[in-house]
Amino acid sequence: MLQGGLILAASFVYLGLLFAVAYYGDRRADAGRSIISNPYFYALSLAVYCTAWTFYGSVGRAASTGLDFLTIYLGPTILAPLWWLIVRKMIRVSKRQRITSIADFIASRYGKSAVLGGAVTIVAVAGIVPYIALQLKAISTSFTVASTYPDTAALTNAGGAAVPLLADTALYVALLLALFTVLFGARHLDASERHEGMVAAVAFESLVKLVAFLAVGLFVTFGLYQGFGDLFSRAAERADLRALMTLEPSASVFGEWAWLSFLSMLAILFLPRQFQVAVVENVNEQHLKKGIWLFPLYLILINIFVLPIALAGMMYFPDGTVEADMFVLALPLESEQPLLAVLVFIGGLSAATAMVIVATTALATMVCNDLVMPVLLRTKALRLQERTQLTGLLLGIRRSSIVVVLLLSFIYFRMVEGHYTLVSIGLISFAAVAQFAPAILGGLYWKRGTHAGALWGLLAGFLVWAYTLPAPSFAEAGLLPHSFVEEGPWGWAFLHPHALFGLDGWSPVAHGLFWSLLVNVGLYVGLSFKTQPTAVEHSQARAFVDALPVSSRATVWRGQASVTELRQLLSRFLGHRAATQGLKRFANAQGIDTTQPTWEDHLPANARLMHHAEKLLTGAIGSASAHVVVGSVVNAEPLNLEEVMDILDETQQMIAHSRELERKKRELEQATQRLQAANAKLQELDRLKDDFISTVTHELRTPLTSIRAFSEIMYDNPDLSAEQRQEFLEVIIKEEERLTRLINQVLDLQKLEAEPMTVKVEPVSLRTIIDEAVQAMSQQMEAAGVTCTVEVPDEEPGTVEGDRDRLKQVLLNLLSNAFKFCDDTDGRIVVTLRSRAEDVQIDVADNGPGIDLDEQDSIFERFQQARSKARAGSSGSGLGLTIAQRIILEHNGDIWVESTPGEGATFSFTVPRTHATDPTGDGAPATPDPTASDSSPATSPIT
């Protein structure tokens, strides 16, 4: 009735929508605005529990055995109150220990054992494969039904063997789901293994499947019938349907009911996909609060119409032409409701895909992290330890695991297809994950559980499970001799897989669950007592068992201790005064008059006093030690291992604390030293600043004085000769020029010091700069008869990185310096450029009187020239060389002077070819620090 193409199109549109939801979820997560960080999303994602089994299989089960399909949902409901204790603990442990899968969880608990992690992974894969097969079966069957109805031949083709491999819808479903799971769960690697997009999609799917199922339920109940009353009363007319409304009052029926409830309680906790959504993907522990009751509410809603649909199906298809598992889809098809049928198909698809995506993602994480990687890392030949980038490899393993798991499921589906209903396949998986129960529950609540117990219990339970549950299904599918299920192996009836040791009359699931858990728990407990936990196991056991804050050690002291003893104890640890005060407080609270000298005699030597003493001691020596110390007075019980561990723990923490304190103290001392140094430097700077100001004012006063003196002479003597007046005015102008120059240079220097880092870095040709500087001075030099020679190697541009204007200023300062001091009659200046690999050196030589050796060190200091007698009478500010030095230091270069008195002086500087910023970040150029010149090589070049 429905076109196959239409269904396919609807499916692809739906899957596309799903992917959009996931993509949006991932984007929001990346942006830090998680949409799944919301208790309602969390509750909906928990509903990944409801798979195609719920959607199609429940009706099938209800049609054959009545209400017992509900056990699968009542179990989780009954257990829900305990989630607050168990799941919260699992979440807390997992967050603390960065656990990302159930295999990780068990392996961590028992000493981070790789072997155990691998074993859990194998059990999980073997157990979940049938479950995934169930989803494949549901999708492919529902597709066949939807596209061929009412050609019922396809429906009754129960054997399924006739379909050739490549024509099998399930194969394509499996491949498509593999692709989808890779896109959802293994697109990229995330250290926390959280998949926000996937969870968003799963929550969305939970809504879709609920809406679809409610829609078909309402349609059947109120569309095909006139409500519940009508439907039930019509069904009650048939004896076989009436039987479905009650439970047969027999021990086996109620026993089965209890076993299935119990099984589903374990499943909801330990199914890898439930662990994934409830624990790994949990964003906030508080979301659990809503999840705890919303999830059972969801279960009520999705189950309320199961029995009505089953009864209606039985009435509509009384001859068994339609498999009961497909009633949900067949009823709308039969009543010609194509839209509803498509909705139902999409709902079933939702239920199945959500399960497959989450389950295979969880399994792939386990296979990769707990099975393949440990083996690869241990294989020395691969040298994986040395590789730094394993992301690609990890993703590759994840993706291949997803494909392999789905193909395995497909193979399983082909093998047992047609022999089993959806529910019975799913129950086999439930029984497999139930094998994790002893190791996990024991691990969470029993510190004594050991690695050997967990491992051997798990493996033995798994073997019994394999023997009693999947093996018979293989036998029925013809893969094992059929006699295996009929008479037991080799005809040994006591080994019959459905009646081991003669335990007959149980359903296969209850039977398999009983024996496997018996062996599992027996070995877990027995071996745990027989083996000793290692140190790692012991500390992990404590981390797991004590994960939730324990209410204070509610010990009731039983023995009697004398008040004197307790008092001595307290004095020993707390000192006499504190002990007396502590006891006084207690006595006051007890209504004892402490003003009397004998008040201590009135203290009751009871448990309350001991508890009080313990509390007092806890403040001083920690709770564990306090407990033991008080215990030592009360009775001489020897320390047990746990108490020793407690004490060690506390001591360890205290040591860590005191180490931390020590470190802080050292840091503080260092900081103080640095502060003192900085302070000394500041004082020095302050002093230098004062010197500078007094020097500058002194320098300013000299020209000012002479200007004033000459002006006064002219003012007082109006009858001065024109010639003399001219001469005086000349002096005034000259002095005024000197004043201006001085002020300009002071400003220059201040600017350099105020913004030292504003060096513009650009390629600069020093050759060009020399030419320009010499050009600028040429007129002045020619007038004074000074010859200037430039010696630059041919074609050598002398390119460096630096600030063009400032470098030019350096050269100008050096040139004018040389000009001022060169020989009066035959002044000669030689500028030389030397090019080297790393830097360029420029020398400016003059033939003046030279500089005394003892002055060479301080020639670059401010106003140095002014103090030098040898330079007396020269006109200069005394700041030119200081400015030149500062600029060169900013360029990370050197500047120095070489001179033999009487034979002239040569000022040289170098500039590095590339301008590297000072790596320490506080180099000389960065600080306006006159003392820097003391330590700079510029001042002591002749060493």
- Stretch (H or E) spanning 908: strand 905-912
C-alpha–C-alpha distance, residues 726 and 717, integer Å: 14
Ramachandran sector of residue 358 (left: φ over 0; alpha: ψ -120 to 50; beta: rest):
alpha
Which residues within the stretch 17-36 sit at the binding site for another protein (CB under 8 A)? none
C-alpha–C-alpha distance, residues 896 and 898, integer Å: 7
- Minimum distance from CB of 197 to another protein (Å)? 29
- Stretch (H or E) spanning 225: none
Does residue 575 belong to the site contacting another protein (CB under 8 A)?
A: no
Whether 121 contacts 35, CB under 8 Å: no
Q: Looking at 252, 555, 914, 935, which residue binds another protein (CB under 8 A)?
A: 555
C-alpha–C-alpha distance, residues 166 and 161, integer Å: 12
Q: Output 608 or 741, the one with its CB closest to another protein.
A: 608
Does residue 215 belong to the site contacting another protein (CB under 8 A)?
A: no
C-alpha–C-alpha distance, residues 300 and 523, integer Å: 38
Does residue 230 belong to the site contacting another protein (CB under 8 A)?
A: yes
Does residue 249 belong to the site contacting another protein (CB under 8 A)?
A: yes
The site map against another protein for 39-68 (x = CB under 8 A) is: ----------------------------x-
Q: Looking at 247, 373, 404, 700, which residue binds another protein (CB under 8 A)?
A: 247
Q: Looking at 21, 74, 174, 840, which residue binds another protein (CB under 8 A)?
A: 74
- Minimum distance from CB of 91 to another protein (Å)? 14
Does residue 84 belong to the site contacting another protein (CB under 8 A)?
A: yes
Does residue 679 belong to the site contacting another protein (CB under 8 A)?
A: no
- Minimum distance from CB of 612 to another protein (Å)? 8
Does residue 554 belong to the site contacting another protein (CB under 8 A)?
A: yes
- Minimum distance from CB of 648 to another protein (Å)? 23
Other Cβ atoms less than 10 A from the Cβ of 112: the count is 15
Phi, psi (rounded to 5 degrees) for 894: -120, 150
Q: Output 70 or 485, the one with its CB closest to another protein.
A: 70
- Minimum distance from CB of 211 to another protein (Å)? 20
Does residue 531 belong to the site contacting another protein (CB under 8 A)?
A: no
Q: In this structure, is the dihedral angle defined by the CA atoms of residues 126, 127, 128 and 133, taken in order, positive or negative?
A: positive
- Minimum distance from CB of 303 to another protein (Å)? 8
Q: Output 254 or 445, the one with its CB closest to another protein.
A: 254
Q: Output 23 or 293, the one with its CB closest to another protein.
A: 293
Does residue 229 belong to the site contacting another protein (CB under 8 A)?
A: yes
C-alpha–C-alpha distance, residues 189 and 398, integer Å: 9
Q: Looking at 1, 10, 78, 126, which residue binds another protein (CB under 8 A)?
A: 78
Please choose, out of 273-281, 321-329, 447-455, 543-551, the segment that lies near another protein by the rule CB under 8 A. Answer: 543-551
C-alpha–C-alpha distance, residues 818 and 827, integer Å: 9
Other Cβ atoms less than 10 A from the Cβ of 68: the count is 21
Does residue 592 belong to the site contacting another protein (CB under 8 A)?
A: no
- Minimum distance from CB of 76 to another protein (Å)? 10
What is the secondary structure of 822-859 as a DSSP string?
S-SSS-EEEEEEEE-SSEEEEEEEE-SS---HHHHTTT
572-to-317, 339, 565, 620, 922 alpha-carbon distances in Å:
87, 84, 11, 11, 55
**What residues contact residue 883 under an 8 Å CB cut-off, 6+ apart?**
745, 748, 749, 752, 809, 810, 813
The site map against another protein for 254-273 (x = CB under 8 A) is: x--xx--x------------
For helices 169-185 and 338-366, the axis angle rounded to 10 degrees is: 60
Please choose, out of 71-79, 199-207, 769-777, 928-936, the segment that lies near another protein by the rule CB under 8 A. Answer: 71-79
Q: Looking at 389, 551, 598, 721, which residue binds another protein (CB under 8 A)?
A: 551
Q: Looking at 115, 158, 236, 644, which residue binds another protein (CB under 8 A)?
A: 236
Q: Output 509 or 879, the one with its CB closest to another protein.
A: 509
Q: Output 39 or 526, the one with its CB closest to another protein.
A: 39
- Minimum distance from CB of 383 to another protein (Å)? 49
Question: Tokens standing for 247?
Answer: 């439970």
C-alpha–C-alpha distance, residues 266 and 430, integer Å: 8
Does residue 552 belong to the site contacting another protein (CB under 8 A)?
A: yes
Nearest Cα to Cα of residue 361 among 205, 104, 186, 127 = 186
- Minimum distance from CB of 207 to another protein (Å)? 19
Does residue 77 belong to the site contacting another protein (CB under 8 A)?
A: yes
Question: Tokens standing for 395?
Answer: 């993703």
C-alpha–C-alpha distance, residues 466 and 510, integer Å: 14
Does residue 233 belong to the site contacting another protein (CB under 8 A)?
A: yes
Does residue 548 belong to the site contacting another protein (CB under 8 A)?
A: yes
Q: Looking at 7, 15, 21, 70, which residue binds another protein (CB under 8 A)?
A: 70
Whether 633 contacts 621, CB under 8 Å: no
Q: Looking at 29, 63, 80, 408, which residue binds another protein (CB under 8 A)?
A: 80
Does residue 591 belong to the site contacting another protein (CB under 8 A)?
A: no
Q: Looking at 20, 82, 161, 733, which residue binds another protein (CB under 8 A)?
A: 82
C-alpha–C-alpha distance, residues 809 and 787, integer Å: 20
C-alpha–C-alpha distance, residues 927 and 239, integer Å: 101
Does residue 227 belong to the site contacting another protein (CB under 8 A)?
A: yes
Does residue 558 belong to the site contacting another protein (CB under 8 A)?
A: yes
C-alpha–C-alpha distance, residues 253 and 270, integer Å: 26
Does residue 494 belong to the site contacting another protein (CB under 8 A)?
A: no
Q: Looking at 10, 304, 495, 926, which residue binds another protein (CB under 8 A)?
A: 304
Q: Output 614 or 890, the one with its CB closest to another protein.
A: 614
Does residue 96 belong to the site contacting another protein (CB under 8 A)?
A: no
Long-range contacts of 255-258 (CB under 8 A, 24+ apart): 255/506, 255/510, 256/68, 256/506, 256/507, 256/510, 257/68, 257/71
Calculate the CA dihedral of residues 301, 306, 311, 314 and round it to 10 degrees.
150
- Minimum distance from CB of 406 to another protein (Å)? 35
- Stretch (H or E) spanning 892: none
Does residue 297 belong to the site contacting another protein (CB under 8 A)?
A: yes
Please choose, out of 567-575, 601-609, 630-638, 689-697, the segment that lies near another protein by the rule CB under 8 A. Answer: 601-609
Q: Looking at 5, 32, 502, 549, which residue binds another protein (CB under 8 A)?
A: 549
Question: Tokens standing for 28?
Answer: 């929001």
Q: Looking at 608, 734, 828, 834, which residue binds another protein (CB under 8 A)?
A: 608
Alpha helices in 35-168 (DSSP H): 39-46, 52, 58-65, 71-97, 102-109, 114-148, 153-156
Does residue 514 belong to the site contacting another protein (CB under 8 A)?
A: no
Does residue 562 belong to the site contacting another protein (CB under 8 A)?
A: no
Please choose, out of 77-85, 189-197, 347-355, 681-689, the segment that lies near another protein by the rule CB under 8 A. Answer: 77-85
- Stretch (H or E) spanning 790: strand 787-791
Does residue 296 belong to the site contacting another protein (CB under 8 A)?
A: yes
**Could you tell me how many residues of this chain bind another protein (CB under 8 A)?**
49
Residue 127, amino acid: G
Q: Output 167 or 556, the one with its CB closest to another protein.
A: 556
C-alpha–C-alpha distance, residues 454 and 872, integer Å: 98
Question: Tokens standing for 93?
Answer: 């442990």
C-alpha–C-alpha distance, residues 657 and 414, integer Å: 62
C-alpha–C-alpha distance, residues 75 and 258, integer Å: 9
Does residue 81 belong to the site contacting another protein (CB under 8 A)?
A: yes
Q: End-to-end distance of the chain based on CA atoms, in angstroms?
A: 104
Residues in touch with another protein (CB under 8 A): 67, 70, 74, 77-82, 84-85, 227-230, 232-233, 236, 242, 245-247, 249, 254, 257-258, 261, 289, 292-293, 296-297, 300, 304, 307, 548-549, 551-552, 554-558, 604, 606-608, 611
